Amino acid sequence: MVLERRGSKIEHLIFNQIGDFLQRGDLLVLNETQVIPARLYANKLPGGGRVELLLLHKDAAGAWEVLVGGKGLRVGRQLQVDGGPLAEVVEELGGARRRVIFTEQIETFLPTAGHVPLPPYIKEPLKDPERYQTIYARQPGSAAAPTAGLHFTQSLIDQLQSGGIRFASLTLHVGLDTFAPVTEEDPHLHAIHTELCELNPETARAINETRRAGGRIIAVGTTSVRTLESAALYAEGDAIVGAFQGPTDLFILPGYKFRVVDAMITNFHLPRSSLIMLVSAFCGRETILNAYEIAKEQNYRFYSFGDAMLIF
């Protein structure tokens, strides 16, 4: 679906026709994060009860923040990871979150002991885990894929580049909190998830040069949107972004004034998610609700392996 914000015009096309809506000098910004096999299974010691651990991120001290599935996971509980090392719960962080220390570097065990985490609405395991990776994934660290990028093939990228479209990359490691519903009546009260991201000096320079030359900044995915708009906080002088590395807790809701993103490519998102609120902020709540109704009428596929929208 191609959605023109100004007139709310909608067109239905195949994704490989996207070049018809791009111009020489535009810059597409990709999220290079790579999904890691972050889901682990373990037995409680003593007792042997089964539990599940989902790695979220590692802190400076070497401990991991994880989401746990299973009962009795109090501080001091030891676990034997299937095909991996021992672990111990060292802190309860509220809800299903725990801080865990492994007796060995868990990263070395992930290729054999880990399983690709999938959003809760995907019920069947993937026969080919690479289906849940973008072709340009380079930086391991995500618990979920930046799925707008799954539509790109190398031949399409080559075709766009030959037409004068430029590409740049950033990294935002996606956590499963991305899919957590906003349950508060006032979304401003929602505790937005924090995600680690990086926008390097080379990408910052490409973005600033593109804007000065009159080109458009096109974010591939809401994760790229979030990182780009976070980078605006680090801009100096006449730049629109600055290089940075670290966590972002930017929550983009209707009323937000976009400083960087001129257009975005995104999939169709879950109701009451922070992602659909971000998209609503970009093109207007009524516009996006109307577009979603049309998408349902036209049998578009939603969510991670679904269809895409170009919004400009």
Which domain CATH number covers 75? 2.40.10
Instruction: Choose the weakest-confidence range: 116-120, 153-157, 185-189, 267-271.
Output: 185-189
pTM: 0.90
Alpha-carbon torsion (263, 247, 40, 120), positive or negative: negative
Percent with pLDDT over 90 in the chain: 80
Tens digit of each residue's pLDDT (9 = 90 or more) over 99-132: 999 999 999 999 999 998 877 677 777 778 788 9
Residue where one domain finishes, among candidates 91, 113, 135: 113
Q: In the predicted model, is pLDDT for residue 180 greater than 70?
A: no
Edge-to-edge order in the sheet of strand 217-220: 9-11, 2-4, 308-311, 263-267, 217-220, 27-31, 166-172, 195-199, 244-248
- What's the rounded Cα separation, in Å, for the pair 183 and 9? 31
Tell how strand 308-311 and strand 244-248 pair up.
unpaired
Whether 162 is covered by a domain: the verdict is: yes
- What's the rounded Cα separation, in Å, for the pair 19 and 136? 19
The chain-wide mean pLDDT, for the chain, equals 93
Q: Does one domain contain both 28 and 50?
A: no
Q: CA nearest 30: which of 214, 161, 176?
A: 161
Whether 90 is covered by a domain: the verdict is: yes
User: 263 with 220: CB under 8 angstroms?
Assistant: no
For residue 167, what pLDDT band results from cuts at 50, 70 and 90? Answer: very high
Whether 121 is covered by a domain: the verdict is: no
- What's the rounded Cα separation, in Å, for the pair 218 and 230? 15
User: 24 with 164: CB under 8 angstroms?
Assistant: yes
Whether 161 is covered by a domain: the verdict is: yes
Please tell me the predicted confidence (pLDDT) of residue 243: 98
Q: Does one domain contain both 157 and 44?
A: no
Q: CA nearest 291: which of 269, 262, 261, 259?
A: 269
Whether 225 is covered by a domain: the verdict is: yes
Q: Does one domain contain both 102 and 227?
A: no
For residue 309, what pLDDT band results from cuts at 50, 70 and 90? Answer: very high
Dmax over Cα atoms in the chain, in whole Å?
A: 65
Q: Does one domain contain both 63 and 143?
A: no
Q: Does one domain contain both 45 and 23?
A: no
Q: Does one domain contain both 254 and 282?
A: yes
**Number of domains forming the structure of the chain:** 2
Instruction: Choose the weakest-confidence range: 2-6, 16-20, 94-98.
Output: 94-98
Domain housing 68: 39-113
Overall average pLDDT of the 53-79 stretch: 93
- What's the rounded Cα separation, in Å, for the pair 80 and 46? 10
Tell how strand 166-172 and strand 27-31 pair up.
parallel
Q: In the predicted model, is pLDDT for residue 308 greater than 70?
A: yes
Q: Does one domain contain both 167 and 253?
A: yes
Residue where one domain finishes, among candidates 55, 89, 113: 113
Higher pLDDT, 123 or 76: 76
Q: In the chain, what are the helix, strand and coil shares in percent, each to the nearest 5? A: 30, 30, 40
- What's the rounded Cα separation, in Å, for the pair 199 and 86? 35
Q: Which residues contact 183 (CB under 8 A, 6 or more apart)?
A: 190, 272
Helix (H, G, I), strand (E, B) or coil at 220: strand
Please tell me the predicted confidence (pLDDT) of residue 177: 61
Q: Does one domain contain both 137 and 189?
A: yes
- What's the rounded Cα separation, in Å, for the pair 80 and 76? 13
Please tell me the predicted confidence (pLDDT) of residue 49: 95
Q: Does one domain contain both 180 and 266?
A: yes
Q: Which residues contact 130 (CB under 8 A, 6 or more apart)?
A: none
Please tell me the predicted confidence (pLDDT) of residue 108: 95
Residue where one domain finishes, among candidates 63, 80, 113: 113
